[in-house]
Amino acid sequence: METLMERFKSLTRYWWAMLILGVAIFVVGILIFTYPGESYIGMAALFAVLMLVSGIIEVVIAFTEKYMVGRGWAAVLGVLEIILGIILICSPAITAMMLPIVLGIWLLFRGIGLIGIASEMSHFKVNGMVWTIILGILLIICSLMILFQPLFGIAAVVVWVGISFLVAGVSLVVFAFQLFSIKNKFKKLTE
């Protein structure tokens, strides 16, 4: 239990990074609905940049915190996101062609990751942990809809991408505030 507590303590230091990432993803979701007529390539480019930034944040957190929960998985996912982000930025045609598949898989892993972390965090009895699990499940459902929507056209993919970004953004913001709550509990324990 001591090791688990230390691992979560280190993760809570970066609650603000999850908050910023969640807000950024949510804003991209709003932009997708605000400008539906914009090109599919533009949305693909936004996703490529967002994936690169997300990967960099994951890697920095994973390599700076020795006792972080899920550190190895975060590092692997972060490195993969950086590599994919660079490939997608450098090749817009591939990005447009592969967007539904890459995005669907990325969001699927995000949803599974949220559920996994929420179940580990349940040891600390944080209020609202059920919502993190529900949001993780919604993210998985959205990712599956994106993966199956290419058969029905780009417009359907754009709608599911927008919905998925909104859900992903909200889930990361909720998760960030839960981390902040745990951080405050740790602070009270040490006082």
pLDDT tens by residue, 123-148: 777 677 788 888 889 889 888 887 87
Burial status of residue 190 (CB atoms within 10 A of its CB: 0-12, 13-18, 19 or more): exposed
* The most confident of 1-5, 63-67, 91-95, 173-177, by mean pLDDT: 173-177
Whether this model's pTM surpasses 0.75: no
b or e along 44-66 (b: 16 or more beta carbons within 10 Å of the residue's beta carbon)? bbbbbebbbbbbebbbebbeebe
Q: Output the CA torsion sign for 98, 99, 102, 108.
A: negative
For the chain, what are the domain ranges? 2-186
d(CA 130, CA 165): 20
Residue 127's H or E segment, with its range, is none
pLDDT tens by residue, 148-169: 765 555 676 778 778 888 988 9
Q: What is the pLDDT of residue 24?
A: 92
